[in-house]
């Protein structure tokens, strides 16, 4: 838990300052009213710390990020070279490392990564790694298939079939995730493994598709939380990001999720933008007592 109030305010205030620096990277934010932006930054200075693990990083924590497009930072272009859609400047691992004791050794996350692919990302990771974060499970649960089937017509049979298939995949996903988390912890015996879940992508009531996707996200997040608990390993920590993203989904005046209505195929769409990575994911890590200076 962030027991030092001065640090918590200072840390979260710096995230607010960072969001001002990166605001030009966020599609549509330039048109947001100044009062909305001010309110979002103010939230960052008064967020309530919620204890998660009782653990804080040592003086210098060697940090490796694993996972899918949400950890890669796909919603916050420009990207590094390669096919993984890693943000050059504004992935949450980069932001978290810049404002904490974490020393980011490598972000190995890649767009489209499945549970199996994240397991393969462990190759070459030093056993001296003391801190890991990851997001994974959405691709395995069929998130891309649901979006593709339901975007044209949420009331269609094609959409209903995609949701049914995704629900069936969730039943098998829990043990796969628990196995992956346990493998990471066993491979990196000095590391705390921080498992982050997924934000609701849409503000409630924005569209039938939005409500469907949010419901599916809730179901996936429940599986992720259950998988962490199933490991029984106190070094594996679950961090819930939904509170930090609440009110900032697609359709909000100040969205934390990238979405370009003029280009529905934009690769950044449906991922946290720079603000989402700073005031959503990184702030969740701070609020849950994972980050300290």
Catalytic annotation on 87?
no
Residue of 19, 69, 91, 111 marked catalytic = 69
- CA-to-CA dists, residue 41 to 16, 181, 254, 279, angstroms: 5, 33, 11, 8
User: Among residues 238, 291, 244, which one has the least CA distance to residue 272?
Assistant: 244
Per the annotation, the verdict on 238 as an active-site residue is no
Which is catalytic among the residues 19, 91, 166, 271? 271
159, with CB counted inside 10 A (0-12, 13-18, 19+), is buried
CB-based contacts of 37-43 (< 8 A; 24+ apart in sequence): 37/254, 39/254, 40/248, 40/254, 40/275, 40/279, 41/16, 41/279, 42/16, 43/279
Residue numbers annotated as active site:
69, 271
């Amino acid at each position: 838990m962030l027991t030092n109030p001065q640090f918590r305010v200072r840390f979260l205030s710096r995230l607010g300052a960072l969001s001002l620096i990166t605001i030009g990277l966020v599609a549509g934010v330039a048109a947001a009213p100044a009062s909305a932006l001010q309110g979002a930054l103010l939230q960052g200075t008064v967020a309530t710390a919620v204890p998660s693990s009782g653990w804080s990083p040592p003086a210098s924590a060697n940090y490796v990020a694993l996972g899918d497009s949400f950890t890669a930072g796909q919603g916050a272009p420009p990207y590094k070279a390669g096919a993984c859609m890693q943000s050059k400047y504004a992935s949450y691992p980069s932001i978290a490392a810049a404002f904490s004791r974490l020393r980011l050794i490598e972000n190995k996350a890649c767009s489209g990564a499945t549970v199996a692919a994240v397991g393969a990302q462990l190759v070459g990771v030093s056993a001296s790694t003391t801190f890991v974060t990851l997001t994974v499970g959405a691709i395995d649960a069929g998130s891309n298939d649901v979006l593709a089937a339901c975007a044209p017509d949420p009331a269609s049979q094609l959409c209903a079939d995609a949701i049914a298939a995704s629900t069936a995949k969730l039943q098998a996903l829990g043990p796969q995730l628990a196995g992956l988390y346990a493998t990471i912890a066993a491979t990196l015996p000095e590391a705390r493994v921080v498992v982050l879940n997924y934000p609701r992508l849409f503000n409630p009531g924005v569209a039938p598709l939005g409500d469907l996707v949010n419901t599916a996200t809730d179901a996936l997040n429940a599986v992720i939380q259950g998988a962490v608990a199933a490991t029984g390993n106190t070094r594996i920590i679950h961090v819930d990001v939904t509170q930090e993203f609440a009110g900032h989904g697609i359709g909000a005046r100040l969205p934390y999720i990238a979405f370009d209505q003029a280009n529905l195929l934009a690769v950044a769409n449906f991922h946290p933008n720079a603000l989402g990575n700073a005031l959503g994911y990184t702030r969740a890590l701070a609020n849950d007592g994972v980050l300290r200076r």
